[in-house]
Amino acid sequence: MPEPLSPQPLNILIVDDEINIRKTLAISLETDGHKVTAVSNPRDALVEAAKKSHDLAFVDLRLGIDDGLNLIPELLAQSPWMRIVIITAHGSIDSAVETMKRGAADYLTKPFTPSQVKLAVDRIAQIRALELQVAGLEEIVGQSRGVPTLKTDNPAMRRTINLARQVAGSDTNVLIRGESGTGKGILARAIHAWSSRAAKPMSTVSCPTLSPQLLESELFGHARGAFTGAIRDNLGRIAACDGGTLFLDEIGDLPLELQPKLLRFIQDREYERVGESRTRRADVRMIAATHVDLESAVSTGRFREDLLYRIKVIQLDLPPLRDRVEDMQMLAERFLTELKGAKSIAGFTPEAVDALKRYQWPGNLRELHNVIERAIFLCQNHYVGVPHLPTEFSARPPADEEIGDALSLDKLEEMHIRRVLAKSKSLEDAASILGIDQATLYRRRRKYGI
């Protein structure tokens, strides 16, 4: 659960045809730490709004021959989250009501004081901070089911987490590699939460789930009428998380035709929505994840080599669950606590823990979550036992076979490795006992399906 967010500096747009008002207002806002862009007319305002995202706009009601009222819906179409404060020397109840109907959030009458401006900005900053916190909580709730804690006793996992903490403070692109279900998404969200961008949105795009056209629209947005079914403008995930983090899950499945567009955005921070020629900019930190061998995909022409180099400035490797034997009981108990509800289940029998440690977990943490959920449903006493686990957890290596029996050397080696692994605290300890390095142990385990 993230900490409550304090208001952050805002990106503010000033639209006023009086240069003294623009300068005075800009100085006041910049003194309070906000980033300010000031223009004199609606045309320039829309150009600036298209270039970058703004949280707040001060708009003069009368802009020479133009009407500031007409600018309100156009600005909101660019950035629906933007709050607009109308400023005018010709204030009246009727004009105030009309601005609110058009979508303005507040109304200031000239001459206004710095304290009035600060009060309006601080109120909007508080609202924006709450909106971002809600968005972050929705992201967590929507994606965290079955996701484990980052607490670990596994040396490889510990090294990965330590490196993730180090890289979180920068804007460096990160590639997270690991099998499906190993927790790549939660590590990406942790990096965002540890970063200076934590107060801004994080957005996740799953590359394999959409067609190339829909994926392009999801990433970059589209204009109304860009394709069949595009009945309204879509901002896109990049614009939605401007200032924050974009997580591209399973980037190895990104269609080849979209890869140059993503590469351009990573390099230049520029993009166009589908159906538009206007170039837009966004400040987004990129985190990608994959379970496939991207180097092999490059060699076969399925993935661009230059894109690979751009996204893997820092690579984080998540070990599969079968390599985290020392974490198994802790993770199982964590899921048990989360899932058991009102059931009075105290824990696992030693035999059940041993069975969980011996299993190979092809589905990794997602599979563990489902196995524990099933066991809770079946368990009618205080401890989850082997009978509450799927049938494949009951299989054990033969215990009555010994040296000298009619066994091949490969079979003896497999039996010995299995038994050493079952008794060792870590793969490093097991490799030391066996007198081999961890790479050799990894190859033996692949050979025997351990």
pLDDT, tens only, 227-282: 877 777 788 899 989 999 999 999 999 999 999 999 999 999 999 999 888 899 99
pTM across the whole model: 0.63
Structure confidence by residue, pLDDT tens digits, 187-211: 999 999 899 898 888 999 999 888 8
pLDDT band for position 224 (cuts 50, 70, 90): confident
The closest of 340, 398, 331 to 368, measured between CA atoms, is 331
Q: Judge whether residue 335 has pLDDT over 90.
A: yes
User: In which region does residue 236 sit, left (phi positive, over 0), alpha (psi from -120 to 50) or beta (all else)?
Assistant: left
CA distance 392 to 226: 52
- Mean pLDDT within 398-415: 69
Once rounded to an integer, what is the mean pLDDT over residues 129-135?
67
Give the mean model confidence (pLDDT) for residues 390-419.
71
pLDDT at 7 over 70: no
pLDDT above 60 for 38: yes
d(CA 241, CA 53): 10
Residue 322 scores a pLDDT above 60: yes
What is the per-residue pLDDT for 2? 43
pLDDT band, residue 1 (cuts 50/70/90):
very low
Residue 370 confidence (pLDDT) above 60: yes
Domains in the chain, ordered, with CATH? Answer: 11-135 (3.40.50.2300), 148-317 (3.40.50.300), 321-394 (1.10.8.60), 409-448 (no CATH)
